Amino acid sequence: MKNQNINPVRFLYLSFLSFFGVGFSPKAPGTVGSLATIPLIYAMDYYHLSFATVAISTIILTFISCLVAHYAQIKENVHDPGWIVIDEVIGMLVTWLFIFPVVNLPNIILLFVFFRFFDIVKVWPANWCDKNIKNGAGTIIDDVISGIYAGVCLFLVNFFQLTV
């Protein structure tokens, strides 16, 4: 067997940004990354994490992801490659925060559908960020905005379902 030098820094940023390799799915990596977030949401619910813990963790994850995505895109000489799916993870978490701590199958399905819709359609200002911010933040922030749109929709569905 050949001795292959594995760059540990590259391994770490590829693992982090691809959500432990999920982003290297040959088909629909963004959708697969969004689906892979669902067990994380269930785990956070299982351990009864507080709203503050999830919100602060999501903010920190967003900040770190912007920096790491910027670094990786320079090193890999790419812009917003499909294998970066940590932005989908963040977007799904942002969406969930709008109905936190609710975790049930109908809401998880709606969370996924709303987020994927807004992530694909990229309603302003997400489309502006996606096209005009050419660094790691541009890769991540459009999904945060999509998560906000999806979260508002999910909140409204829950609000009107409970008050009718």
Per residue in 109-127, pLDDT (tens digit) is 999 999 999 999 998 998 8
Domain membership flag for residue 3: no
Alpha helices for the chain (secondary structure H): 8-17, 29-46, 51-76, 86-97, 105-121, 126-132, 136-163
Q: For the chain, how many structural domains are there in total?
A: 1
Domain membership flag for residue 11: no
Give the structural domain span for 70: 28-163
Q: Hey, is 25 helix, strand or coil?
A: coil
CA distance 41 to 24: 21
User: Which pLDDT tens digit goes with each residue over 80-113?
Assistant: 888 999 999 999 999 999 999 989 999 999 999 9
Angle subtended by helix axes 105-121 and 86-97, to nearest 10: 120
Domain membership flag for residue 79: yes
The pair of structure tokens assigned to 153 is 């929709």
